Amino acid sequence: MQTIYDFSATSITGETVEFSAYRGRVILIVNVASRCHYTTQYEGLESLYQKYREAGLVIFGFPCGQFLNQEPGSSAEIQEFCTLKYNVSFPMFEKIDVNGPKMHPLYAYLKSQAAGWFGVRRIGWNFTKFLIDRKGSVICRYSTMTTPSQLENDIKRLI
């Protein structure tokens, strides 16, 4: 049976990250963008990460420019923005597609495990979130409008 640990991705600084290195951790995966109405969620994501990382939480940010090109920057520009504006310290990855023919395999897997509203598999917008348990299984998918603070109880149950 496939789990999150079967995947890898390229970090925002160009290194391959094997998700198996995070075995036993609770993982929150989010497609992010720097010019979106929901960009302020970076603040809440970083707050969750700081509060629960010692207890086993890790957050993976995946920049995506598929929604009105709200993430137009290069990896270096995205990293600079996230660091300077929101002091992001959780792992960030290279910009990817979350839908369509060039979709990253991780997102094909995530969407196969947890549909959105009304059973829709497609990612509808930036800041869609997937919560993964310590065994590497997708537990829940959250909409763009779900704020990071609204995830706290679910995260606490898993850690």
Question: 152 — phi, psi (to 5°)?
Answer: -55, -45
Helices (H) and strands (E) in the chain, counts: 4, 6
What is the rounded CA–CA span in Å between residue 148 and residue 157?
Answer: 15
Q: Is 2 exposed, middle or buried (0-12, 13-18, 19+ CB in 10 A)?
A: exposed
**3-class SS string, 32-92:** ECCCCCCCCHHHHHHHHHHHHHHHCEEEEEEECCCCCCCCCCCHHHHHHHHHHHHCCCCCE
Please pick, among 36, 64, 82, 140, the residue that the annotation labels catalytic.
36
Q: Assess whether 82 carries a catalytic annotation.
A: no
Q: In angstroms, rounded to a whole number, what is the distance separating the alpha carbons of residues 129 and 27? A: 10
Give the residue numbers annotated as catalytic, written as ranges: 36
